[in-house]
Amino acid sequence: MLVTSKELLLDAQKNSYAVGAFNTNNLEITHAIIQAAEAKQAPVLVQISAGALKYAGPDFLPMIVAKAAKLASVPVAIHLDHGPDFETVMLSLRQGFTSIMRDASKLPYDGNVAEVRKVVEACHAIGIPVEAEIGKIGGAEEHVVVSEREATMSDPDECVRFVADAGFDFLAVAIGNAHGFYKGEPKLDFERLDEIRSKVDVPLVLHGASGIPDHQITEAVKRGICKINIDTEIRNAFIRTMQKFTEENPDQIDPRKVFKPCIAAMQDVVERKIEIFRSAGRA
């Protein structure tokens, strides 16, 4: 069933688990995510980025995801990941998204607040929750020195001000996480997370969770992360499985036969994440 992310994340916050937010680009990834959520009886967010909207068509991909969400036996929210501007937010609302992220974290503080407030006003008027980000969640940058790394992390006191000034529903934090695969072993700053958690009431979001070791994810959930974003590990399962299958079956040209093991591999990734996030059986 199609729901908003607010009801999912508030329950996660109350009961100390995290809801998985998995990125999709097409029909096959969407199937894998929803089938995994149903197999594990877990609530889930299916996220679509502006890049995915551009790739698959702004009408077409949301239509697939919305239909899958409505037919699902578990609660599913459709989330705009890293909404780059007001226009993309408006487009997403028209397409039936039930959760919006406006990422203006690259702007100076006042600009970030102004952009997020504008989106909050529009979204809250129709009951749609909003995620915002402060600090900078990097790409995989092993060479970054510690002081530089800390400079990009979310400052706990600024998080408090940001929530109060911009009035959004969920906060994406930068605590040593980065998008894409990590070059070395990532090391989340749990003290920083604790401090943010103790000062801020809204559910917290962890981006860039592909490649973060399970024990650190478990710790992050225990310390108050309620939504965890996964993209790269799903892509990796898709493409690696496809490569292996086509190498082993060079004459196979039926996409349905090629994609079947890919969907199974992606479903497996999502199911494992759901277990680690402790959201299995929470539907």
Positions marked catalytic: 81
Judged by beta carbon, residue 62 or residue 208, the one nearer ligand 13P is 208
Is 208 a residue that touches ligand 13P (CB under 6 A)?
A: yes
How many Cα atoms are found within 13 Å in the side-chain-facing hemisphere of 87?
Answer: 3
Alpha carbon distance, N-terminus to C-terminus of the chain: 10
Contact call for residue 213 and ligand 13P (CB under 6 A): no
Dist. CA 175–CA 138, nearest whole Å: 10
Q: How far is the CB of 81 from ligand 13P (least distance, A)?
A: 5
Q: Applying CB under 6 A, which part among 60-68, 148-156, 229-237, 260-268 lies near ligand 13P?
A: 229-237
Query: Least separation, in Å, of the C-beta of 22 and ligand 13P?
Result: 9
Which region, judged by CB under 6 A, interacts with ligand 13P, from 157-165, 184-192, 205-213, 267-275?
205-213
156: contact with ligand 13P by CB under 6 A: no
- Beta carbon nearer to ligand 13P, 82 or 282: 82
Query: Using the rule CB under 6 A, is 209 a contact of ligand 13P?
Result: yes
Contacts of ligand 13P in 66-125 (CB under 6 A)? 81-82
Residue 243's CB is within 10 A of a number of other CB atoms, namely: 11
* Binds ligand 13P by CB under 6 A, chosen from 102, 179, 223, 227: 179
Query: Whose CA is closest to 166, among 203, 111, 207, 125?
Result: 111
Chain mean position to CA 153: 18
Which of 180, 236, 242, 260 touches ligand 13P (CB under 6 A)?
A: 180
DSSP string, 214-259: HHHHHHHHHTTEEEEEE-HHHHHHHHHHHHHHHHH-TT---HHHHH
The smaller minimum CB distance to ligand 13P, of residues 35 and 232, is found at 232
- List Cβ neighbours of 154 (8 Å cut-off, separation of 6 or more): 134, 135, 171, 173, 174, 175, 192, 196
- Joined together, the tokens standing for residue 183 give 């070059």
Of the candidate spans 120-128, 145-153, 183-191, 224-232, the one that interacts with ligand 13P by CB under 6 A turns out to be: 224-232
Residue ranges in contact with ligand 13P by CB under 6 A: 23, 81-82, 179-180, 207-210, 229-232
